[in-house]
Structure 1
Amino acid sequence: MQMNGLRVSDRLVRLAQVFTDQWDPRLIPLYRKLAADRINISFLYLNYLVPAGQISCLVEPEILTRLTRDSVPGGAIPVKPEAPADAGLVSAFPHRFDPAAIGTILRAVGRKEIQWYCMASSGSMLAIAMDYARQEQAVDVIARNIGLPENHVPIFPGQDYDPIARSLKTAPETVARYVESRIKTYGIQVYTGLTLCSLRLRAEALEKWSRAMSEKGYRFFYACAAPMDNERLELEILLDAGDPGTRSFDIDAYALSADSDLQNPMTVYENAEMICFHGPHFGDRYGIADKALGRIAQAGVPVWLAGCVGATVSIVLPPDTAEKAAKALSAVFEMPD
């Protein structure tokens, strides 16, 4: 498996929220609270397919001076401000939409017992939120398990900007503390007729399953994952698997054979849909996730999964809802002519 590089983030803080009832209107989503406080989300993982909806956001450490436990719904800050949940992102790119990349990387991290919180994909990257103190160790173990160019050096914070530009400013010029009334995008892509697989497997079984998917020629559109309490992990992966009646490979049966200790290792959702878009300044301005997810909720469209990775927003939806969601987004997101 050949990839071109690894990227490592600055120190961030992870905030998490779990809903016992994801549609309870009394509960304000964490991303909305952060938008109201004008706090940028560097990374977002949202999963409403699990029994309790989960949201994880990575933000800059200084926000702990602007938030208290009481000010965040659902006790979203998992630890006291004086002991922040230090986290960082390790991103591998490009994944080439290959399922095997996911299984290989997550198993490599698991072998070293590196604490990780969640993973989400963009159109090019797999980004893993993990213990900040273990980032360099994670980079080392991932690099040994994937193919990288011979002269590859991981990209650490500050390496994206030339020395002259760095001397003139303390942060990239794309960082902004405001949001346009209509946010610019490079266009909104709508994908339909997809197969969403929700797996609960051990890391080694997931690696076997993902390699089998790769060998059969399957490619993913979006993927996200998080560890479970029983030494397994939960992976949601959106595939273009074709019509169920004409598949030559039983993806559900293979998941069962890969981890035979679990009676029901996978749930399959047919005809899932996805909206994906990216634009200038995404990842650097507060409120983009709230604008997108809030507008879709107002349109009465339920969200299954969402991820904000780099400059890309990915939203996975039930059948026959993506066009309605895209129309709702056009009110707040500007698309090129």
Structure 2
Amino acid sequence: MIDHIRLGGFTVRKGVVWASMAYEPCEARFPSRLTRLLALEKINLPFFTCSAAGHGCAVDVAVEREKWDKAATLIADNFKTFRLRIEKRGVIASVFPHGRNPSIAANVLRAIDGAGAIHYAAAQSNSAFSVLIGEEKLQAFAEALFTCFRFRAYPTVAEWESRRAPVTVPKEIVASYQEKRPKVYSLDWYEGIDLLKLENRPGSGGTAAEALESMAADGETTEFLGGGGPPPATLTLAAASSRKATGLVLDRPYPVAVFTMNGPHFGDRYGIAAELMNALEREGIEVLAVTCNMASITGIIPEDQVSQAIGAITACFEVPLVSRAYSKS
């Protein structure tokens, strides 16, 4: 482990209710139906992750606290056969930048373990690595985090606490501006990589953390990292990896592709996740995992569906640039 990795910042967003859902057997339409129904009720999702978990699918969402009663009614009325766990005082904690460095995520997982947070969800965006935990674990998590990282603006956890400001949603944007086709700065693809699962155990984040540290030692990067669900959290990883690390399990025998996209109103308006999930569903594209956090969406699909997915995304988002990169492994 690298001591005191230097990072730019650490932010916390409070005031959210965290709903963790496991739907069995897996219904491919569950995430798209859920996001569409929430969007129809103008409910924003500052954090969203979904992925296959065993024979089902796991979905974790954060909803603004004042919108939760409406969201809870919607979920109860439309979805019956699934497990639901509610954390009414959830927080989204984010460190940045991560540079797709597995060591960053490894140390965040160690901090989660050190805080005794058995239940969590995680999502890697273009800029930040975020986790969703219960607010009662925040103080212990922050203290553990400062044993791993050094932040430019606040060298100690006490200084961070004294100087941090709450992260809020710019309500005026949501109220006054709703694009017909949401703008995207770019749509970036990374193709020909492996879809992996990170083995984990309750109270032992070290297993996943050690696997990520091994990847970092080999110079590998994480193109996608996220997941959640009932403990132990199931973490999905996409990377051009040698798979030598203990705890990495190949999830699919064929290569996959990761896409990332972010826009000026991702994260501060409802319906972004629904636009994406339903566009891909209409074209019959298999969505293996998706995370939405910190104004970014990252997803995984089979590599042979990339061209079809580009057409689906550009039909409902305003995309000025599409880039494609291929693994050399």
Name the TM-score class by shorter chain: 0.7 to 0.9
Shift, 1:115, TM fit: 4.5
- SS of alignment partner, residue 328 of structure 1: helix
Shift, 1:76, TM fit: 7.3
Q: Distance in 1 between matches of 2:313 and 2:167?
A: 34
CA RMSD across the alignment: 2.7
Give the AA of the match of 1:22: C
Q: Distance in 2 between matches of 1:79 and 1:311?
A: 25
Structure-2-length-normalised TM-score: 0.83
Shift, 1:278, TM fit: 0.5
Say if 2:202 is the partner of 1:199: no
Aligned to 1:37: 41
Say if 2:141 is the partner of 1:151: no
Say if 2:311 is the partner of 1:327: yes
Deviation string, structure 1 residues 187-206 (Cα, Å, up to 9, x no partner): 21122111222121342222
Shift, 1:307, TM fit: 0.5
Aligned to 1:251: 243
Aligned to 2:284: 300
Aligned to 2:216: 214
| Bigger radius of gyration among the two | 1
| More deviation, 177-186/289-298 | 177-186
1:115, 1:131 within 8 Å by CA — same for their partners in 2? Answer: no
Aligned to 2:132: 129
1:275, 1:322 within 8 Å by CA — same for their partners in 2? Answer: no
Aligned to 1:61: 65
Shift, 1:330, TM fit: 1.1
1:188, 1:275 within 8 Å by CA — same for their partners in 2? Answer: yes
Aligned to 1:71: 77
Aligned to 2:326: none
Aligned to 2:9: 5
Shift, 1:150, TM fit: 6.7
- SS of alignment partner, residue 17 of structure 2: strand
2:20, 2:61 within 8 Å by CA — same for their partners in 1? Answer: yes
Deviation string, structure 1 residues 252-277 (Cα, Å, up to 9, x no partner): 5x315xxxxxxxx6124342101211
Deviation string, structure 1 residues 141-188 (Cα, Å, up to 9, x no partner): 11112233373454744478xxxxxxxxx9454444763221111121
State the identity as a percent: 21
Shift, 1:211, TM fit: 1.1
Shift, 1:28, TM fit: 6.5
Give the AA of the match of 1:266: V
Structure 1 regions of 5+ residues with no counterpart?
161-169, 242-249, 257-264
Q: 1:38-117 to 2 correspondence within 5 Å?
A: 38-67=42-71, 68=73, 70-74=76-80, 78=84, 85-117=88-120
Deviation string, structure 1 residues 67-116 (Cα, Å, up to 9, x no partner): 42533423779468xxx622111101111111121122112211221244
Q: 1:162-311 to 2 correspondence within 5 Å?
A: 171=170, 173-176=172-175, 179-202=178-201, 203-226=205-228, 229=231, 232-241=232-241, 250-252=242-244, 254-255=245-246, 266-269=249-252, 270-311=254-295
Shift, 1:299, TM fit: 0.4
Aligned to 1:166: none
Give the AA of the match of 1:302: E
Q: Distance in 2 between matches of 1:234 and 1:79?
A: 15
- SS of alignment partner, residue 182 of structure 1: coil
Shift, 1:22, TM fit: 2.7
Give the AA of the match of 2:262: H
2:263, 2:295 within 8 Å by CA — same for their partners in 1? Answer: yes
Give the AA of the match of 2:280: I
Change (3 A) 1:183 1:5: same
Shift, 1:123, TM fit: 0.9
Q: Distance in 1 between matches of 2:108 and 2:34?
A: 28
Give the AA of the match of 2:219: G
Shift, 1:2, TM fit: 2.3
Q: Distance in 2 between matches of 1:177 and 1:20?
A: 39
| More deviation, 286-295/138-147 | 138-147
Aligned to 1:167: none
2:195, 2:239 within 8 Å by CA — same for their partners in 1? Answer: yes
How many residue pairs match? The answer is 306
Shift, 1:326, TM fit: 1.4
Is the strand fraction higher in 1 or 2? Answer: 2
Shift, 1:239, TM fit: 1.1
Structure 2 regions of 5+ residues with no counterpart?
322-329
2:18, 2:60 within 8 Å by CA — same for their partners in 1? Answer: yes
Give the AA of the match of 1:206: A
Change (3 A) 1:100 1:303: same
Q: Distance in 2 between matches of 1:306 and 1:317?
A: 9
| More deviation, 98-107/171-180 | 171-180
Shift, 1:327, TM fit: 0.8
Deviation string, structure 1 residues 279-307 (Cα, Å, up to 9, x no partner): 01110111110100100010010100000
Shift, 1:50, TM fit: 3.6
Aligned to 2:23: 19
